């Protein structure tokens, strides 16, 4: 067997999956470990059970221990695994964090219906040159799980990301918002058609979504807390500069997102790290509240 499910998670319905790419590649140590621990705590305080997912020595773990979280946040040679890489990670006995797409696939196989993350991947800027579209889009189009996130990462082409989600037939819902958030920025000009106010409403919708057998994920867009948000104008100015730098250095493929997030952190410093943790914890809290009603 290549999958291990913790006893706390087995057979339970009120479970929230958490990813670990943020642990291995998203935040610096010790903030990365701190973020995951805080997310787990937020899920528990909302009345649900956290299931942090990662790969430890080639074993897919659903429900990491604190020691395993610490290890994945610090061990040399740790990898970041997308959905296509899961067999390679098992075969190669990797220590790896799971991205949105990989976490969705693993969580669904374990019967978990709700997943909290920071922001999904999507259609990258200048996609007409690179064809760089995240596997998260494919996962949302094919894996029926509720994904709670602060929209998509601000490094992306957000209008194209929303258009592609529509093409794929993925419902995008606002949680206490009428606009699609942009990760560090809660307010954009991208309007959403549907809005929900309470976890109970979202859970009721999810039961209907499953009942019609749409076999697609749902993206619940939950904005970053306002007191931690970074103004969109400030983010756009930084993005233009960092994208130029990325092009000059020839950064491509799976290295794009870690490079961009690292450079943004270099420029904005502690403010961007605290914003990232705030939105992660807030999404975990909302996901836990939804899972409690399932």
Annotated active-site residue in 31, 61, 80, 153: 153
Contact 291, 15 (CB under 8 A): yes
Per-residue CA distances from 50 to 26, 58, 130, 170 (Å): 19, 21, 36, 25
- Written as six digits, the tokens of 123 are 């259609």
Q: How far apart are the first and last CA of the chain?
A: 29
In the three-class reduction of DSSP (H, G, I as helix; E, B as strand; rest coil), residue 28 is classed as coil
On whether the CB atoms of residues 62 and 111 are closer than 8 A, the answer is no
Q: Which residues pair with 56 in a beta bridge?
A: 59
SS3 221: strand
User: What beta strand segments (E) does the chain contain?
Assistant: 3-5, 15-18, 49-56, 59-62, 79-81, 96-98, 114-116, 146-149, 172-175, 195-196, 218-221
Examine the residue annotation and report whether 80 is marked as an active-site residue of this protein.
no
Burial 273-287 (b: 16+ CB within 10 A, else e): bebbbbbbbbbbbbb
Main-chain dihedrals φ then ψ at residue 61, nearest 5 degrees: -110, 125
- Say which of 19, 40, 70, 113 is annotated catalytic: 19
Beta-ladder partners of 147:
115, 219
ω into 30 cis (within 30 of 0) = yes
Indicate if 153 belongs to the active site: yes
Q: DSSP letters along 73-87, please?
A: TT-TT-EEE-GGGHH
Q: Which residues are catalytic?
A: 19, 153
């Amino acid at each position: 067997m290549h999958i291990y499910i913790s006893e706390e998670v087995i057979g339970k319905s009120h479970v929230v999956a958490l990813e670990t790419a943020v642990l291995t590649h998203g935040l610096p140590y010790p903030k990365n470990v701190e973020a995951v621990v805080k997310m787990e705590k937020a899920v528990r305080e909302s009345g649900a059970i956290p299931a942090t997912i990662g790969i430890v020595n080639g074993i897919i773990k659903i429900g990491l221990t604190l020691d395993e979280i610490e290890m994945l946040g610090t061990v040399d040679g740790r990898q970041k695994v997308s959905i296509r890489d899961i067999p390679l990670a098992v075969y190669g006995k990797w220590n790896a964090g799971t991205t949105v797409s990989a976490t969705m696939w693993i969580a669904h196989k374990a019967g978990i219906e709700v997943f909290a993350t920071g922001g999904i991947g999507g259609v990258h800027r200048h996609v007409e040159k690179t064809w760089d579209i995240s596997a998260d889009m494919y996962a949302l189009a094919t894996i029926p799980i509720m994904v709670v996130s602060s929209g998509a990462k601000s490094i992306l082409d957000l209008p194209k990301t929303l258009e592609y989600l529509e093409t794929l037939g993925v419902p995008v819902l606002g949680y206490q918002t009428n606009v699609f958030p942009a990760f560090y920025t809660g307010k954009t000009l991208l309007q959403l058609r549907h809005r929900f106010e309470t976890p109970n409403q979202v859970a009721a919708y999810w039961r209907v979504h499953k009942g019609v057998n749409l076999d697609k994920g749902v993206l619940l867009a939950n904005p970053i807390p306002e007191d931690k948000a970074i103004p969109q104008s400030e983010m756009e100015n930084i993005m233009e500069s960092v994208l130029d730098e990325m092009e000059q250095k020839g950064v491509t493929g799976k290295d794009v997102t870690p490079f961009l997030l690292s450079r943004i952190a270099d420029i904005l410093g502690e403010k961007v790290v605290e914003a990232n943790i705030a939105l992660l914890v807030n999404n975990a809290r909302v996901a836990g509240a939804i899972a409690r009603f399932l």
